[in-house]
Amino acid sequence: MSETFRLSRQVEFNHCDPAGMVFYPRYFEMISATIERFLSDAIGYGWSSMGVAEKGMGTPMGQIEVRFANPSYLGEWLDLDLTLARLGTASATFDIRCSSKDEARFDCRTTIIHAHTGGGKSAPWPPEARARMVAFQPPATAQQKESDV
């Protein structure tokens, strides 16, 4: 059984359009925040550990696909549940489901690349981070051959 990382957050005024619904680009910020908190809180290899400025590593977005189901409104609480769909040598693909009180808001599949910030060349995940990430990968995919990037 794989672990799921959950980030819960309340919809704030700054997330909403004049009708009080989340303006869809704000969901992309929430997706990024979920990945940031996952890497930092669950893996112990957050952006400050990567040393975005000093060590020159980061995790730019390689691909993102979102399927929206229902709107979210000002004041509601959202649960963003993250699992690891695939772990590559220098990439990670996540499935993120956003819901409020068990009602789906969106499903997302996104891939980040572990890369040097100066020039963008990919680099393998550090062994310690990689070992911690595997716990969030479903058993069926954990057995599959890893791919490059």
Q: pLDDT digit string (tens) for 85-101?
A: 999 999 999 999 999 99
Cα of 71 vs its chain's centroid, Å: 20
CATH code assigned to 5-142: 3.10.129.10
Helices (H), the chain: 24-37, 47-50, 127-133, 139-142
Of 73-77, 112-116, 144-148, which gets the smallest average pLDDT?
144-148
Task: Give the C-alpha separation, 67 to 51, whole Å.
Answer: 33
Residue at token pair 């309340």: 10
Task: Give the C-alpha separation, 109 to 97, whole Å.
Answer: 9
Q: pLDDT digit string (tens) for 102-120?
A: 999 999 999 999 999 888 8
| Helix, coil or strand: residue 42 | helix
